[in-house]
């Protein structure tokens, strides 16, 4: 319990730092971000919502109060999920825009990255256990080669050859244009079909790192005495590989899961841009280019919170799997 409270306090502090930096960045930028926001609104839009100017001044700076009072107001807005109105999607609220786009990114990156982790761990485990075999000599180099290229470059190549030339996959948007989003099989099947190629790209690009990491750790683990003892007991190779060697070898790669996940979240912008996938990454890119400060600021905070939560979940998983953490 003491360990859990320490980690919880640490991540609460990290969350506060992320929120505070998100508050300071627009105020440290040259120029007037409020003026940039209001420039996207027509006089009629401003007149129809008299409080919009002060709302943006409270959110982005430039208010009449001190920096401290603005900070307190900002924390209040964050606590109530009030990030204002998106100027590029006027009159939609920022939370409404994020609510429409974030589920696509969660499904895309969440599923793809978990598959990449499982695939990389499995291949690395088998490659180390059967060194010099087919998996070690051919599959591992192929996976490492795919992981050596940036995700957006691999995406462009896949779109050209697998989408345009071969016609195996859809190459843009998250579902067919004739389909209405909803909880029905027509929409779900269309969404799955459009997500297949982006998921494959993310999975194979990031699996290579897990393959190399797991293979290296697994080779060292195989040489441990308890693995030799398991063999001496007459246990099957599969049981020794997964329950004895693999269970302990997975801990170092698991510790790096959150860091790799942060990299994947950062690369989400480019992948969604290539596929015109209407997720949070593409929305962030469009909001930044369109000087939509409220939406940009909120999405950056969402990405930061996502990485913090991923680190916290990995810490809990490490606590459950590694007895040394519980006794430390």
Q: Based on the domain organization, do 255 and 119 belong to the same domain?
A: yes
Q: Are residues 78 and 108 in the same domain?
A: no
- Pick the last residue of a domain from 61, 89, 117: 89
Q: For position 191, what pLDDT does the model report? A: 86
| Residue-wise burial string across 277-287, b where 16 or more C-beta atoms lie within 10 A, e elsewhere | bbbbbbbbbbb
- Give the domain CATH number at 279: 1.10.3720.10
- Quick one: pLDDT at residue 63? 54
**267 and 180 together in one domain:** yes
d(CA 78, CA 304): 14
Number of domains in the chain: 2
- Whole-prediction pTM value? 0.77
Last-in-domain residue among 58, 89, 120: 89
Give the pLDDT confidence score for residue 315 in this predicted structure: 81
pLDDT tens-place values along the chain, 328 residues long? 677 788 888 989 999 998 888 888 766 666 555 666 666 666 776 677 767 767 666 666 555 567 777 788 888 888 888 887 787 776 678 888 888 888 888 888 888 888 988 898 999 899 888 888 888 889 888 888 887 787 778 888 888 888 888 888 888 888 887 787 777 888 888 888 888 888 888 888 888 888 888 888 888 888 888 888 888 888 888 888 888 888 888 878 877 777 777 777 777 778 888 888 888 888 888 887 777 778 888 888 888 888 888 888 888 877 777 666 666 5
Residues 241 and 187 in one domain: yes
In this structure, are 293 and 307 located in the same domain?
yes
- Same domain, residue pair 59 and 99: no
**Considering just the CA atoms, what is the radius of gyration of the chain in Å?**
24
Q: Which of 325, 129, 89 is nearest to 219 (CA)?
A: 129
pLDDT at 13: 92
Residues 71, 142, single domain; the answer is no
Give the model's pLDDT for residue 65. Answer: 60
Q: Which of 66, 63, 109, 96 is nearest to 264 (CA)?
A: 109
- Give me the helix-helix angle, 140-148 and 94-129, nearest 10°: 150
Q: How far is CA 200 from its chain centroid?
A: 15
Residues paired with residue 85 on neighbouring β-strands, in sequence order = 93
Question: Which residue range(s) make up the domain with 29?
Answer: 2-89
How far is residue 24's CA from residue 116's CA, in Å, rounded to a whole number?
A: 36
Domain boundary among 89, 113, 139: 89
Looking at the fold, whether 82 and 100 belong to one and the same domain comes out as no
Is the CB of residue 112 less than 8 Å from the CB of residue 202? yes
Q: What is the 3 state secondary structure string of the chain?
A: CHHHHHHHHHHHHHHHHHHHHHHHHHHHCCCCHHHHHHCCCCHHHHHHCCCHHHHHHHHHCCCCCCHHHHHHHHHHHHHCCCCCECHHHCCCEHHHHHHHHHHHHHHHHHHHHHHHHHHHHHHHHHHHHCCCCHHHHHHHHHHHHHHHCCHHHHHHHHHHHHHHHCCCCCCCCCCCCCCCCCCCHHHHHHHHHHHHHHHHHHHHHHHHHHHHHHHHHHHHHHCCHHHHHHHHCCCCHHHHHHHHHHHHHCHHHHHCHHHHHHHHHHHHHHHHHHHCCCCHHHHHHHHHHCCCHHHHHHHHHHHHHHHHHHHHHHHHHHHHHCHHHHHC
Claim to verify: residue 8 and residue 125 sit in the same structural domain: no
Distance CA 48, CA 63 (A): 21
Do 250 and 323 lie in one domain? The reply is: yes
Which pLDDT belongs to residue 34? 64
């Amino acid at each position: 319990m003491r360990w859990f409270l320490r980690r919880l306090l640490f991540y609460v502090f990290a969350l506060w730092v992320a929120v505070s930096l998100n508050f300071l960045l627009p105020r440290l930028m040259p120029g007037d971000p409020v003026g940039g926001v209001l420039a996207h609104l027509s006089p009629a839009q401003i007149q129809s919502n008299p409080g919009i100017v002060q709302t943006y001044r409270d959110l982005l700076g430039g208010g009449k109060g001190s920096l401290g009072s603005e900070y307190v107001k900002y924390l209040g807005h964050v606590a109530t999920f009030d990030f204002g109105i998106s100027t590029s999607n006027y009159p939609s609220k920022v939370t409404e825009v994020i609510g429409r786009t974030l589920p696509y990114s969660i499904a895309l990156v969440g599923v793809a990255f978990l598959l990449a982790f499982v695939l990389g761990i499995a291949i690395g485990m088998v490659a180390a256990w059967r060194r010099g075999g087919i998996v070690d000599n051919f599959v591992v180099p192929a996976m490492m080669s795919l992981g050596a290229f940036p995700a957006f470059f691999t995406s462009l190549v896949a779109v050209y050859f697998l989408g345009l030339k071969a016609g195996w996959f859809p190459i843009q948007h998250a579902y067919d244009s004739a389909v209405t989003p909803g909880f029905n099989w027509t929409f779900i099947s269309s969404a799955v079909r459009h997500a297949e190629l982006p998921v494959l790209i993310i999975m194979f690009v990031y699996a290579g790192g897990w393959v190399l990491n797991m293979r290296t750790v697994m080779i060292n683990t195989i040489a441990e005495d308890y693995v030799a003892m398991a063999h001496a007991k007459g246990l099957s190779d599969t049981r020794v590989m997964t329950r004895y060697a693999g269970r302990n070898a997975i801990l170092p790669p698991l510790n790096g899961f959150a860091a790799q996940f942060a990299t994947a979240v950062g690369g989400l912008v480019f992948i969604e841009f290539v596929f015109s996938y209407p997720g949070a990454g593409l929305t962030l890119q469009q909001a930044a280019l369109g000087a939509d400060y409220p939406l940009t600021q909120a999405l950056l905070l969402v990405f930061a919170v996502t990485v913090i939560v991923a680190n916290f979940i990995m810490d809990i998983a490490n606590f459950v799997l590694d007895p040394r953490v519980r006794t430390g």
